[in-house]
Amino acid sequence: MAEDSGLRKKIEKHLLSIQKPSRYIGGEVGSVVKDKSRVDVRFAFCFPDTYDIGMSHLGMKILYSLTNERENYWCERCFAPGVDFEKIMRENDIPLYALESLDPIRDFDFIGFTMQYELSYTNVLNMLDLAGIPIFSRDRTEELTQIVVAGGPCVCNPEPLADFFDIFILGEGEEVNLELMDLYNEMKQQGAKRIDFLRRAAHIGGVYVPQFYHFSYKDDGTIESVSVSDGAPETVTKRIIKDFDSVYYPDNFVVPFTEIVHDRVSVEVLRGCIRGCRFCQAGFIYRPFREKEPDTICSETKALCENTGYDEVSLASLSTSDHSGIDPMLTKLLEYTEKERINLSLPSLRVDNFSESLLEKIKKVRKSGLTFAAEGGTQRLRDVINKNVTEEEIMNTCGIAFRGGYSSVKLYFMMGLPTETDEDIVGIAELAQRIIDLFYSIEDRPKGRGVQVSVSCATFVPKPFTPFQFEPQDTREMIEHKQKLLMDSVRTRKIKVSYHNPDVSLLEVVLAKGDRRLCRVVYAAWKRGCKFDSWDEHFRFDKWLEAFEECGVDPGFYAHRRFEYDEILPWDHLDYLVSKEFFIRENRTARQNKTTPNCRERCSGCGVNKRVGRDCF
C-alpha cells in the first residue's frame, strides 16, 4: 500500500458531513494501488460527473485495467464531487484528488477526461479549477507534466473544448493511450518540454493537438479555412482495434461500496452497428462493425463475475440482437448464469429481429417492462431516419411480449426530425393507441392488469458524423407546438407521455455542432456557476443565455441554421473513416423518404471498409 498523502486526514475530517462518503475515499474491492516511487507515469482518469454515474462507465473500466497492467504506469480514478463536498473542498483547500492514492491530480502526468455527453463540458472546467490546474491549455506550464487529454464520443467534434485540452484522442483508446504514455515516458526521461512532446504526439495516429490547428472565418460566420502548424497532419484519423475478439478486456472491475447507476458486470459483445439510423452518431463513429466470439464473451463474463462477486451481468453493445451468434451466445451464457444464480440483462434489443425463442430466453432473466426505440410516429418518417422498423414488426413484437406476460411497453420517439409534419406527431399517439388495441385483442393476454404504454419524446439533436449533421434543430416554438399537438392527440390514460426539456436539447446541439468560438461561451457559463448541466436541478439556461450574450455568440447560428454540403464543418479535419460524401448522399436519400439497407444486407459504401482495408462482412 502506498503511503497516504497528507490529504487523507483533511478529507476524512469532513466525510461524515456529506452524502455517500464512500464515494470520496477509495479503497474499493478491485481498485489498484501501486507504490508510486516505482511508477513512471501517473494517469488520472477523470469522469466529469459524480461517482455514481462515472463508475458505471465501461470505457473507464477497460482503460483503467489496461493501463494498470503496465507495472510502471498507474491509472487512478477521479470524479466530480457532489455540490456538498465541492463546497467543503473549496472552503478547506482540498484540491481535487484521485481515489487510489488520494494525491492531488495536479501532480499527475496525464489528466484524462472521457467526454460522453455535451452537458458535462462545464464540469471539466470545474474539475480543472478544483484541481488547481490552469483551465486554458495556453496557461499551463512549459514543463512536461499535467497533460490534459480527452477521449470519448464527444471528441469527434472537440472544438468547443479545444482551448481547454492539450490533446484529444480520437477513436478507441486501447492502443493509442499506451502509445501516448510510452512517448511521454521516453521524452520525460530525456527532459523534454511540453511543446516538444505535443509536436511528436501529433504524429501518433488518432492524436489531435488542437493548438496546432487554426481556424479563420468568413463574414457570414462560417469557416473560411483551417491551417495547420508545427508539422501536425492535415487530418487526424480515429483509431480502431482491428482484432476486436482478442482486444484486451478486464477480468476485474472496481466494485463500489455505494450503489451506482449500472451496478453490475458489463461485457462488451460487439462494436459498431450495421444499421445506419441517420440520426445516430454512435452508429457511424464506432464503425466498422466487429463482434466477439460467443466463447470469448462467456469466458469474460465468467471471469468478471467470479472476481467481482456481482450477481448481475449486462451485455453491452449498440444492438445486441445484431450479433450473428446471439442464440448460441445466450444459450451458453444462460447455462452459466442460471447455475450461478446470476441475472442476465440484455439492453439494446431491436424490434425487428426479436424472435420468440429470444423472448423465451430473456423472459428467464428479466421481468420488468420492454423498451422499444420506434423513434418516428409514421412509416414515412421512420424511412426518412432509416430506422428500418415497420409498424408490423412493432406490432408483432408487442404481440409476442403481451402473450409472453408483459403488460407494459415503453416507446422512445424523437421530435423535430427532418421533414417532420404534424401528421408524424399525431402518428405517435396513433401508434401507441394501436398497441393498446392490440393488447385487448389478445385472448391470452396477462389478466388482472391494465396495459401501459409509455411514450418518451426527446427533441432531435443533429450530431456531427451523421447524415443529419447538416440539419437544423427545431426552434423552441416548433417543439412546443408539437408537444401540445401530441398531448391533444392522446385520449387515454393508458398512454403516458413524457418529454425532454427543449432548452437542454438546444444547448446539446450547439455544443455538439459548435466551433472553437464556443470555448469562450463554455468558460463564461462556467464562470456564471453552470455545472452539472445534465442534472435538471442544476441546469441554468438563463446563465447560458447570458454567456452567449456576453460572448456575442448566437446559439441559433449553430442550432437552427442548415449547414451547407460544401461548407467547411468544424469537424472536417477529423476523420472517422466514414466519408463526408456518404453523409451527403444519405442526407439526400433521406429527403426522398428512402431507406438504406443495413450493412449485412448490402454495403452502402460509407467508405470504412476501404479505409480499414477489408470487407466488413
Torsion of CA 241, 242, 248, 254, to 10 degrees: 30
Q: Which of 25, 478, 551, 612 binds other proteins (CB under 8 A)?
A: 25
Contact region with other proteins (CB under 8 A), list: 307-315, 426-434, 491-499, 588-596: 307-315
Q: How far apart are CA 312 and CA 42, in angstroms?
A: 32
Q: Which of 16, 91, 447, 448 binds other proteins (CB under 8 A)?
A: 16
SS3 413: strand
> To the nearest whole angstrom, how small is the minimum distance from the Cβ of residue 22 to other proteins?
4
> To the nearest whole angstrom, how small is the minimum distance from the Cβ of residue 43 to other proteins?
22
Nearer to other proteins by Cβ, of 12 and 392: the residue is 12
Q: Does 448 bind other proteins (CB under 8 A)?
A: no
Q: How far apart are the first and last CA of the chain?
A: 49
Contact region with other proteins (CB under 8 A), list: 12-20, 424-432, 547-555, 579-587: 12-20
Sequence-ordered alpha helix ranges (H) in 263-355: 282-285, 294-308, 326-339
Residue 261: Cβ within 10 Å count: 12
Q: Does 29 bind other proteins (CB under 8 A)?
A: yes
Q: Please report where in the chains the cell 423513434 appears, as a residue.
A: 375
Q: How far apart are CA 371 and CA 442, in angstroms?
A: 20
Q: Which of 5, 222, 237, 258 binds other proteins (CB under 8 A)?
A: 258
Contact region with other proteins (CB under 8 A), list: 13-21, 115-123, 159-167, 509-517: 13-21
Q: Does 310 bind other proteins (CB under 8 A)?
A: yes
Distances (CA, A) of 266 to 153, 175, 428, 511: 19, 21, 33, 29
> To the nearest whole angstrom, how small is the minimum distance from the Cβ of residue 51 to other proteins?
12
> To the nearest whole angstrom, how small is the minimum distance from the Cβ of residue 29 to other proteins?
5
Residue 12: Cβ within 10 Å count: 13
Question: How far is C-alpha 57 from the geometric centre of its chain's CA atoms?
Answer: 9
Nearer to other proteins by Cβ, of 19 and 353: the residue is 19
Contact region with other proteins (CB under 8 A), list: 26-34, 61-69, 497-505, 526-534: 26-34
Produce one character per residue of 285-294: b if its CB has 16 or more CB atoms within 10 Å, e if not. bbbbbbbbeb
> To the nearest whole angstrom, how small is the minimum distance from the Cβ of residue 303 to other proteins?
12
Q: How far apart are CA 75 and CA 67, in angstroms?
A: 6
For residues 164 and 148, the answer to whether their CB atoms sit within 8 Å is: yes
Nearer to other proteins by Cβ, of 264 and 387: the residue is 264
Contact region with other proteins (CB under 8 A), list: 19-27, 176-184, 489-497, 605-613: 19-27
Q: Does 1 bind other proteins (CB under 8 A)?
A: yes
Q: Does 338 bind other proteins (CB under 8 A)?
A: no
Grid cell for residue 231 = 508539422
Phi, psi of 602 (to 5 degrees): -160, 140
Nearer to other proteins by Cβ, of 215 and 253: the residue is 253
Contacts with other proteins by CB under 8 A: the residue count is 24
Q: How far apart are CA 328 and CA 240, in angstroms?
A: 27
Grid cell for residue 84 = 456538498
Q: Does 423 bind other proteins (CB under 8 A)?
A: no
Q: Does 459 bind other proteins (CB under 8 A)?
A: no
Q: Does 22 bind other proteins (CB under 8 A)?
A: yes
Q: Does 307 bind other proteins (CB under 8 A)?
A: yes
Q: Does 35 bind other proteins (CB under 8 A)?
A: no
Q: How far apart are CA 255 and CA 260, in angstroms?
A: 10
Q: Which of 105, 156, 169, 305 binds other proteins (CB under 8 A)?
A: 305
Q: Does 261 bind other proteins (CB under 8 A)?
A: no
Beta-ladder partners of 148: 111
For residues 138 and 211, the answer to whether their CB atoms sit within 8 Å is: yes
By residue count, the chain amounts to 617
Q: How far apart are CA 51 and CA 263, in angstroms?
A: 12
Q: Does 334 bind other proteins (CB under 8 A)?
A: no
> To the nearest whole angstrom, how small is the minimum distance from the Cβ of residue 391 to other proteins?
37
Q: Does 259 bind other proteins (CB under 8 A)?
A: yes
Q: Does 26 bind other proteins (CB under 8 A)?
A: yes
Q: Does 566 bind other proteins (CB under 8 A)?
A: no
Q: How far apart are CA 478 and CA 537, in angstroms?
A: 25
Q: Does 66 bind other proteins (CB under 8 A)?
A: no
Binding residues for other proteins, per CB under 8 A?
Answer: 1, 15-16, 20-22, 25-29, 31, 255, 257-259, 305-311, 341
